[in-house]
Amino acid sequence: MAGGVHSQPEIQIQVHSRKGGNSVYPVEPATTKTASSGGPAFYREIKHFKKWFPWLIPSFVIVNVVTFLVTMYVNNCPHNSVSCYAGFLGRFSFQPFSENPLLGPSSTTLQKMGALDVNKVVREHQGWRLITCMWLHGGVFHLLANMLSLLVIGIRLEREFGFVRIGVLYIIAGLGGSLFSALFIKSNISVGASGALFGLLGSMLSELIINWTIYANKIAVLVTLVVIIIINLAVGLLPHVDNFAHIGGFVSGFLLGFVFLIRPQFGWVSQRYASRAYSTLAKPKFKMYQMVLWVVSLILLIIGFTSGLVMLFRGVDLNDHCSWCHYMSCLPTSRWSCNTEPVSCMSEQTSNQLTLTCSNSNKTRTYSLSNPSTSKIQGLCTQLCR
């Protein structure tokens, strides 16, 4: 029949609930007999917006938990300390509460397992600690808080963007957090997945910005996300919390989100899945603002990581160039002190007695011990000085 009019395949837009608000996704009509015969149409998600089965983030949680158990096994509190908390757990029991209120191992064990120690990174060329510290935790409370957050944030992102992009983003953001922390904290060790977690949180914000048009409730989602970020960063102002790792991870994740989590515009998607015979003017895959953000973020990431690594291995202390920056990690108040200087003691062994004198406070205490190990002395010193 001459002069017939053909109908162009249509890409349907459906609304899905996501991240506390609604986002819209294109779906492609499935070719079925039911749909073609006038019955109800069935749709399938196109590959650019497919849902992934989240398995990597749960695997990360398992790795963190197993690593903590191994750390507690290595710690062996009954062998290396005079007293332990929850002694019925045997070698898995915790260091005394006065030494580690998070219910976990000693700082000596964490250092042995790969905690971030700037002196060892710079002087002994142990750069691998920038990565290994991400898988260690200071105690049960620390582990539970991080893993619950990882499950809530990470599974959503992995379901939306897949294990490759989220896995790479997690590792690089964690490295960024460790690097930023190492440039400011020189006298203490640091552990935890917080830097990588804040990287995921930062990527959620940049993903919202770079894919702004796919959200139905843009402002509500933005306000909710910003409030969550501010609250989490504010918690980092408490003592004994490495907020530098949080900030470094967040900034890294924020920039990485522009690079890894960019989505094509719907006009291109519709044209891509429609018949070529009915295509008109070709539409670009990404909008101009998306490409600008992608390029700028990639450049900033390369410059930031390169300059940060150079400064770290040259022994640069950014506190010397920023007199107020230490307030970003701990804000002193009348209720707590931000003094986190490492403790040290003078020891004297006489027969079966060990006498320790805290160099920080001049406190002295005598213990009935003969030939105590170095780790045991360090643990007693920490309890005495705190």
**Rounded to an integer, what distance in angstroms lies between the CA atom of residue 73 and that of residue 79?**
11
The catalytic residue among 246, 252, 326, 329 is 246
CA distances to 83, 331, 347 from 242, in Å: 28, 12, 30
Burial-class residue 15 by CB neighbours within 10 Å (0-12, 13-18, 19+): exposed
Q: Is 246 a known active-site residue?
A: yes
Q: Is 48 a known active-site residue?
A: no
For residue 255, the SS3 value is helix
**Rounded to an integer, what distance in angstroms lies between the CA atom of residue 311 and that of residue 74?**
33
Q: Which residues, 6+ apart, have CB-to-CB distance to 326 below 8 Å?
A: 184, 319, 338
Interior angle at CA 97, CA 92 and CA 100, nearest 5: 75
**294's tokens:** 């992608």
The catalytic residue among 81, 106, 194, 252 is 194
**Rounded to an integer, what distance in angstroms lies between the CA atom of residue 210 and that of residue 229?**
18
Active site residues: 194, 246
